[in-house]
Amino acid sequence: MTCAVWLLAAAVGSIDFFGYQGLDLAAVRAALPIHEGAPFDPEHFDDDAARDAIKQVTGHAPTDLGVVCCDPGGNGCCISVSAALPTIRWLSTRRPRERPVCRLP
């Protein structure tokens, strides 16, 4: 069975969040228009509604929201939600540039 055909008969196996540390994921899950265990039809999945629901709860739209075939348990598809929140700090491996000491004679 191809992935596309399998998805037509699938359920949502899991919804996985990345980059949401410190947020109330129960509130985010409750706001989503689709839930784990619910039947999944890719033709009727409203990506915009899911993004709007996440933005309404967190204040930020997700950077990525994707459907992956299949979840590790074989129970259905996996929905992956990634975030770029202001709480995420990018680390630099560069050292601050040293300023030369200039002295006038």
User: What is the 3-state composition of the chain as percent helix, strand, coil, each rounded to the nearest 5?
Assistant: 25, 20, 55
Report pTM: 0.65
The burial class, CB within 10 Å (0-12 / 13-18 / 19+), for 76 is: buried
In this predicted model, which residue has the larger pLDDT, 96 or 6?
Answer: 96
The burial class, CB within 10 Å (0-12 / 13-18 / 19+), for 81 is: buried
User: Over 60: is that where the pLDDT of 9 sits?
Assistant: no
Residue 1 pLDDT level (bands cut at 50, 70, 90) = very low
Mean pLDDT of the chain: 75
Tell me the mean pLDDT in the region 69-84. Answer: 74
- At the topology level, CATH places domain 3-82 in Ubiquitin-like (UB roll) (3.10.20)
Map residue 15 onto helix, strand or coil: strand
- Weakest-pLDDT range from 45-49, 57-61, 77-81, 94-98: 94-98
